[in-house]
A = this chain, B = another copy of it.
Amino acid sequence: MHKTVPPATVERLPLYLRCLEELPPSIEGISSSDLAALADVTSAKVRKDLSTLGSYGVRGVGYSVERLRFQIRLALGLTKERGVVVIGVGNLGRALAGYRGFGEAGFSIVGLFDVAPEVVGSEVGGLTVEPMRRLNPVVRTTDAAIGVIATPAAAAQGAADRLAGAGIRSILNFAPTVIRVPEGAEVRRVDLATELQVLSFYMHQEGRE
């Protein structure tokens, strides 16, 4: 029944969820191959992925869109809104603060923090930027669950330490460096330069042999 969901599947569940949420309300059911076409994956992958959540399809018919949305949200733990704190209010931090996709995805920014005195106190995306020493109390009172690091590389490890110290165990790191966190904490890294360099590889490779 509740087998453990493989990491590769976990990475695709948000994709499926997004595709399902883009469907017009008139569409009540969907087959694995139709969903596969929307998500640009194979239908076998869709079926295997969904089957790890349980048997929610109907043979000969397909899946109920609404049921699927519910089950994926459940599996991802999106049953309640999760608070996000952002450290580093530079270009990227500002972009994150103004990003509307948060709410739709089940998250809300509950705190912006920076070390620079000239930034602290300014209003960004409806929130006032606070000094780092306010991190712990804000995390405590808002019950924030996720920390986003949007600092320069040199400040990233320090930010991670502060987040860990505040009890945050899920970190999204936009700084272009590897950060170390205590056992039990989870870090995901998003690195623009890496993405471009990977594209560069395949571009470069094209002309080969």
- Indicate if A27 sits at the interface (CB-CB under 8 A): no
Protomer copies: 2
Q: Which residue of B39, B190, B192, B194 is within 8 Å of A195 (Cβ)? A: B190
Q: Which residue of B40, B102, B177, B199 is within 8 Å of A22 (Cβ)? A: B177
**In the complex, which residues of chain B have a beta carbon less than 8 angstroms from the beta carbon of A18?**
176-177, 193-194
Measured between alpha carbons, how far is A205 from B170 in the docked complex, in Å?
Answer: 12
Measured between alpha carbons, how far is A184 from B203 in the docked complex, in Å?
Answer: 10
**In the complex, which residues of chain B have a beta carbon less than 8 angstroms from the beta carbon of A106?**
196-197, 200
**In the complex, which residues of chain B have a beta carbon less than 8 angstroms from the beta carbon of A44?**
none
Q: List 26 A-B contacts (CB under 8 A).
A: A10-B202, A14-B198, A18-B193, A22-B177, A38-B178, A40-B178, A76-B201, A77-B204, A78-B200, A82-B200, A91-B99, A92-B95, A99-B192, A101-B193, A102-B192, A104-B193, A105-B192, A105-B197, A145-B200, A145-B203, A146-B199, A170-B199, A186-B202, A186-B203, A188-B195, A190-B192
17 more CB-based (< 8 A) A-B contacts, given A10-B198, A15-B178: A5-B201, A10-B201, A11-B198, A13-B201, A15-B194, A17-B197, A18-B193, A39-B178, A76-B200, A77-B201, A77-B205, A91-B99, A99-B192, A105-B192, A145-B200, A172-B192, A188-B195
